[in-house]
Chain A
């Protein structure tokens, strides 16, 4: 089997769409549905691997609407691995929700098809986000992810999930509308500088971006930053984030945190690359550093006093994305590369942690961490994996996030912001203390509550362990894996403004 790049991209984009259409019609049996889901995700994963093999990251691929370069390839790897993990853990998650106590889907068996259809179309739109070549289409797809994931967040239609979804849709749509205004201003600049040829085409704009008007570009950047920043969950615009993450089904929270936020970061970076040469680095750097660190600052106290396990993970997501924005704002190669690496590591770890949080909630029937004790005794396997996941999340060696966070912090000191580096380290220490305190409370102590049983099956353990190990291998062995190293170096070049 030998496909060229175009065919592989078509395969990647066709499979999830076809499957979600099939799942939406809902005439397949449940087992067939589960297996088809796995088959499709594995197919897409295999196609992404083949794409990685055939794609030479020095030569970007440009079609009429599609553009693939090192940065989008890196994002494809992130989304692809989460998609794969989603598909192989979804049966366990849905079965648990169907059969065991507190089963919601038990009463509504047909909802499984709908869940699969929505989730796969959600992933499909995220794949589109990183593959389209046009700033306008990037906006359209990002907005579409909000809407599709809103239906997933509200999937169980409980009162709290409705509240979360209402807030999510309202806040994010307003934010994204502001980003539309920013995109319109960019188009206006393009129209009056170059004419209407290649309208909003990213590559064309990036090659000619020096000619744009600086004042207007700054104006556009403000709207774009606020708009996509809302979607990332940067601090003053983050109100929707903990609600949506905590009320969504666990797998959806994982996808939201791991891949959707990464997509928003990706689109923001694509826009910034265009505006950077005319605005100059200083303004953008200040903006990213301030909002990034402010996000961490806001997240820390909420983690320390948190009682809801998924909200705690949501605030930890905010912390990670704040750190990544700050590291991007440093504009040094080390930090930018570590930021891309952290995008990948954080996605893997956070997906597995949200999945484990879902498991814990299923086992104990509560989200309140204060009511969970003695997990090590009662549910040893879940407890072990939870501990591993938390250790990985907090950036301790040997897990992947250690490497990326280390180099991001190193970036602070190697550029001329050592004091910001110190502040960041103090904030991260606060985060570590908060999370570790809550998790140790849950793991240790005497059990006070009956559990519904050990829900962490063999297949899930393999997938979750695979995610953790995969993150470790990629980050620790980056120097040895020539292909990934080359890809990441090229992606870093693109992030820092050099069009590949």
Chain B
């Protein structure tokens, strides 16, 4: 479990550094793989029934195969794109992630000193906050989608640790929602490519007031 946390933190930091869209998607997929392994480990430590396997299998299917696959297919179509990349945003998000990691541990120390899963809680706080900062600081639509999934993964991991998994129906619903969300966002991004000739969201600032 400790190795998993180390890898997770590593992947999240990598995610804040990546500017290439394909690599961002690969980072997202590997992050979800780690979450899936964590699901299996946590699941089997609680029991051996269907509920132990279910979250892991669903994570594998939905978040490792389907979601990165859908985004990857979209990314392959994005050629000749107008690039507005600024290095400062990347550095800001890495800095922010470092701060969030420290903050997460401080928070965990304060709230539940010496608890068993404190590393996992801290890393899920890191994921939630990093996901948010990716969505706010970065301008490319694909990176923002990755940030959203990271946020969702963080909440999911936290929930898994706290409650040993939500009720089965709710769990299925949550996965269905994430799935539909990504489908909707992929549709929107490809439309954005057609209308604006770019997937940089900073060109969309017409609606005000």
Chain A interface (Cβ < 8 Å from any Cβ of B):
65, 134, 136-137, 139-141, 143-144, 147, 150-151, 154, 157-160, 162-167, 169-170, 173-174, 177, 180-181, 184-185, 187-188, 191, 199-200, 242-243, 246-247, 302, 305-306, 311
Q: Which of B148, B170, B180, B196 contacts A159 (CB 8 A)?
A: B196
14 A-B Cβ contacts within 8 A? A134-B167, A134-B170, A157-B195, A159-B204, A163-B207, A169-B185, A170-B144, A174-B135, A177-B155, A184-B158, A187-B166, A188-B163, A191-B164, A305-B209
Closest chain B CB from A304 CB (angstroms): 11
Please, which residues of chain B bring their CB within 8 A of the CB of A181?
128, 155, 158-159
Please, which residues of chain B bring their CB within 8 A of the CB of A177?
151-152, 155
Assess the B191–A162 pair: CB atoms within 8 A.
Answer: yes
Closest chain B CB from A67 CB (angstroms): 14
In whole angstroms, what is the CA distance A142 to B81 when docked?
35
Render B170-183 as a binary contact track against A, CB cut-off 8 A, 1 for contact: 10011011001100
CB nearest to B178 among chain A residues? A143
Contact status of A180 and B155, CB under 8 A, knowing A162-B195, A243-B207: yes
CB nearest to A188 among chain B residues? B162
Assess the B181–A147 pair: CB atoms within 8 A.
Answer: yes
Assess the B141–A166 pair: CB atoms within 8 A.
Answer: yes
Please, which residues of chain B bring their CB within 8 A of the CB of A200?
166-167, 170
Interface of A is mostly: helix
Known contacts A165-B188, A185-B162; 14 further A-B pairs (Cβ under 8 A): A136-B169, A139-B173, A140-B173, A158-B195, A159-B195, A163-B207, A166-B204, A170-B148, A174-B135, A180-B159, A184-B166, A199-B170, A200-B166, A243-B207
Assess the B167–A184 pair: CB atoms within 8 A.
Answer: no
Judge whether B76 is part of the interface by a CB distance below 8 angstroms.
Answer: no
Judge whether B11 is part of the interface by a CB distance below 8 angstroms.
Answer: no
Closest chain A CB from B19 CB (angstroms): 20
Assess the B162–A174 pair: CB atoms within 8 A.
Answer: no
Judge whether B74 is part of the interface by a CB distance below 8 angstroms.
Answer: no
In whole angstroms, what is the CA distance A162 to B144 when docked?
15
Assess the B173–A154 pair: CB atoms within 8 A.
Answer: no
CB nearest to B111 among chain A residues? A219
Q: Which of B169, B181, B207 contacts A134 (CB 8 A)?
A: B169
Assess the B206–A163 pair: CB atoms within 8 A.
Answer: yes
CB nearest to B170 among chain A residues? A136
Contact status of A162 and B204, CB under 8 A, knowing A134-B169, A151-B187, A154-B191: yes
Please, which residues of chain B bring their CB within 8 A of the CB of A139?
170, 173-174
Q: Which of B132, B155, B209 contacts A184 (CB 8 A)?
A: B155
Assess the A174–B148 pair: CB atoms within 8 A.
Answer: yes
Closest chain B CB from A270 CB (angstroms): 15
In whole angstroms, what is the CA distance A151 to B181 when docked?
11
Please, which residues of chain A bring their CB within 8 A of the CB of B152?
177
Q: Which of B169, B180, B188, B207 contacts A160 (CB 8 A)?
A: B207
Chain B CB within 10 Å — which of A162, A188, A246 has the most? A162
Assess the B207–A247 pair: CB atoms within 8 A.
Answer: yes
